[in-house]
Amino acid sequence: MGARSAQCYPCHMGWRVEHDKTHRARTLRNSATKHERKLWGIISRLRPKFTRQLPVGPYTVDFASRQAKLIVELDGSQHADSETDRARDDYLRREGWTVLRIWNNELDQNPDGVLEAITDRAAECLGGTHPQPLPSREGRPRRHRFD
């Protein structure tokens, strides 16, 4: 694929991301770590919707909600005090994204707290609305049809 791999596919094909970035994201999704699979199991049913391994500029982010412009990065100990991560976060913030970093051990020790942190941050990004509104009938007394 040589020269074509560095170009975007034509818009009439519906592709807006360079082929090599799409391929890298797909490869990362298929080779997810244990912690990435665990977090995906927790946030995949959230609203606003999240996606895995989203290409954003020159980077591929772990999890992202396009609606909330929220990125969730799952980090192991190799990311502690990383200048590369700081530069990456600065770039993503300049592009209008909010970045939330979660440590792998936080996910292991307190998955409910991680879920709460993500939903709270998504609510902030959406302007204070709760990202998972209550079902429309919750809290109302049931009306009997044939009374």
**The pLDDT of residue 84 is above 70:** yes
| 12 — pLDDT class (breaks 50, 70, 90) | very low
Q: How many domains does the chain have?
A: 1
**CATH number, residue 97:** 3.40.960.10
* Mean pLDDT on 74-98: 85
Is residue 55 one of the residues assigned to a domain?
A: yes
Is residue 141 one of the residues assigned to a domain?
A: no
Is residue 107 one of the residues assigned to a domain?
A: yes
Query: Looking at 22-31, 34-43, 71-80, 89-98, which range is the least confident one?
Result: 22-31
Its domain, for residue 62, covers 33-125
Is residue 113 one of the residues assigned to a domain?
A: yes
How far apart CA 114 and CA 40 sit, in angstroms, is 12
In sequence order, which ranges of the chain are alpha helices (DSSP H)? 19-30, 34-43, 83-94, 104-109, 111-125
**The pLDDT of residue 128 is above 90:** no
Is residue 44 one of the residues assigned to a domain?
A: yes
Per-residue pLDDT tens digits for 47-62: 888 988 888 888 889 8
